[in-house]
Amino acid sequence: MAEQKKPEKRMVNEKSKDEDLEQFREDSTGQYLTTNQGVRVSHTDDSLKSGERGPTLMEDFHFREKLTHFDHERIPERVVHARGSGAHGYFQVYESMAEYTKAAFLQDPSKKTPVFVRFSTVVGSRGSADTVRDVRGFATKFYTEEGTYDLVGNNMPVFFIQDAIKFPDLVHAIKPEQPNEMPQASAAHDTFWDFVGNLPEITHMIMWVLSDRALPRSYRMMQGFGVHTFRFVNAAGKGRFVKFHWRPLLGVHSLVWDETQKIAGKDPDFNRRDLWEAIEMGDYPEYELGVQIIEEEDEFKFDFDLLDATKIVPEEDVPIRWIGKMTLNRNPDNFFAETEQVAFHPGNVVPGIDFTNDPLLQGRLFSYLDTQLIRLGGPNFHEIPINRPLAPLHNNQREGYHRMMINRGQTSYFPNALRDNYPRPAPEEEGGYVHYTEKVEGRKVRARSESFKDHFSQAALFWNSMSDPEKEHIVKAFHFELGKVEDVEVRKRVVDLINNVDGDLAVRIAEGIGVSPPATKGGAGVTKKSPNLSQLTTMMDTIKSRKIAVLLAEGFNHAELMQVTQALKGAGAHPQIISQFHGTVRSSDGQEVMVDKSYVTTASVLFDAVYIPGGKQHIETLKTHGYAIHFINEAFKHCKPIGATGEGVDLLTAADLEGVETASPEADGDVLSRQGVVTIRNPKGIDSFNERYIEAIARHRHWDREKKERVPA
């Protein structure tokens, strides 16, 4: 037998994912319309008929191809995580992690590993709104030199259930109810809360879902978590437990509930649009990857089980080590081809990363692959361009629906002699994946470990760690969710469940939903706090990419506008001019600026802050515009920063913001900053104003305003 040429050794990525996709991109400059077979089409407005008013002829191949393709354009949407938004980017590790893992993409700080990230809501359909109360998916596909690695997580570090066998029950309960397919993208109905009241293990997750974490301001301001405990394995075969974390460099910020409901009507694509526009403007989202590493000998040192997906590892017990950064810098070329067809699977791992016996993770290892088979039409979904690994493929798998690879050679089996056993298994030292040799023994049982049965301690830890405003939001969320439940007994069971967490919380919930409080106050007996669970400990030192609404009418002070907006732009924010009509608006000295949005096409809920420059005529006009007054009141109600200079302060006075003192004429050059409302009368002090106003925006919200009862918005 002639000597066979040995396959080339796997190389470090020589091309980016972008280059890999190039062969699949359409030439958008093509001049002539063609069929899918490349035949040029001379006419596409009328089908081929027997006479002008006669029947359509079946020989019209262009008509049949066009309609057939249209009839088959839709694929089944995901049962969960149906509504998503994606972006391309890259990941770089800060320093080699060889001590802990042999994963190649975690070794070289100079190497950029291509990634594709899909953010998503969980419960709603593809057509639902972005801002519903829900968990958010945070799934990252790393195109590494050793193969594709998928870190498929959420924006919350825990999950609803402990064992994957309960997942169908969870989804059936939280989806729209069976008789009427209502409500869409909402847990506020009887079947879900009936499920909650009968499943104590769900309690910790419920605290997260009813917190501000379920209402992210932006995908760019949202944490991500691997949820499960995984394993790192180094080249020597030593294993360690690991928990994965993503931290946005813009900080973690949320919307408020009233705001989310209004945004759902004003712009149901709010989070999707925010991600797209940020990347288009060069405000590339950045996230640090962190790990909590736990030695195997410490597996049982905690008062919870590491394999329990309803538990966190508090940072006070195991600090997070930040090991690298991900940057998202390119939007998809086509939503369907990339964001909709991307297929994630937690079983897609590379050497150096392995699983644990977490029963929820074990079930996901089956379920995700099974789902892709039906959704994407067969076993070759890995050949769809967005799913193609950058590592070369050599195996004996053949044929099936949508096969794209053209295999060569006569052998498709192993062992073989005709090709000298190629492709053959790779030894570990050549990159072959070897599963961690964990010792496992025990009887076959349908049972759960006793170490999984504390369902309330960490729920209490989460509650204790919240700030007063965050606690108030959780209580109001319970009032809304349970207030929508018609069955009083279901409401009562949930109150009794929460009484196991904190008796006072249970009483506060009961007061708002028309049920009797528990006869005896309970509680988990936990007094400990974990400060980093509160969003008020997040980064609040940047206004990069924040959107600032600037309200204008004819006769505004152009100098003030320029001084403030240039300072905002210099800090990385994006001021937008809002006026009654589109077009231009003229200043008191005759200068014109272009209007970005009119009142009827936007709203305060779509912005992070509001600014009003001076100008006597401009302010007198705005006082007569109900839209402008409502804009300010609504922003005030939602605790957003508001700034005004010169006569702009008078508009705030006209808006009658409850309990807020604004700069008086006597204050002259002094900046007055109260509850996130920053004002100055004399433009000579505008530099000081800019400093204070930017500081107020960086804080994101000013929760001391929430107690205001009289806000007409």
Catalytic residues: 81, 154
For the CA atoms of 193, 195, 198, 204, what is the dihedral angle to 10 degrees?
Answer: -70
Answer whether 130's CB lies under 8 Å from 269's CB.
yes
What is the rounded distance in angstroms from the CA atom of residue 541 to the CA atom of residue 696?
A: 10
In degrees, rounded to 5, the angle at the alpha carbon of residue 449 between the alpha carbons of residues 443 and 452 is 160
Residue 595 structure tokens: 């209007």
DSSP collapsed to 3 states, 561-586: HHHHHHHHHHCCCEEEEEECCCCEEE
Amino acid found at 327: T
What is the rounded distance in angstroms from the CA atom of residue 699 to the CA atom of residue 423?
A: 58
In degrees, rounded to 5, the angle at the alpha carbon of residue 459 between the alpha carbons of residues 453 and 464 is 145
Dihedral (CA of 578, 599, 121, 479) sign: positive
User: What are residue 680's DSSP bridge partners?
Assistant: 645, 671
Q: Which residues contact 73 (CB under 8 A, 6 or more apart)?
A: none
Decide: helix, strand or coil at residue 231: strand
What is the rounded distance in angstroms from the CA atom of residue 148 to the CA atom of residue 55?
A: 52
Amino acid found at 391: A
What is the rounded distance in angstroms from the CA atom of residue 151 to the CA atom of residue 140?
A: 5
Q: What are phi and psi of 410, to 5 degrees?
A: -95, -10
> What letters, b where the CB count within 10 A reaches 16 and e where it falls short, cover 58-81?
eeeebbeebeeeeeeeeeeebebb
Q: Which residues contact 403 (CB under 8 A, 6 or more apart)?
A: 380, 383
Beta strands 84-93 and 224-225: pairing type? Answer: unpaired
Q: Look-up: residue for tokens 């369902």?
A: 455
DSSP collapsed to 3 states, 291-333: EEEEEHHHCCCCCCCCCCCCCCCCCCCCCCEEEEEEEEEECCC
Answer whether 575's CB lies under 8 Å from 612's CB.
no
Decide: helix, strand or coil at residue 664: coil
Amino acid found at 386: I
Nearest to 122 by CA among 64, 79, 162: 79
* CA separation, residue 289 to residues 84, 95, 286, 559 (Å): 21, 12, 10, 44
Answer whether 83's CB lies under 8 Å from 128's CB.
yes
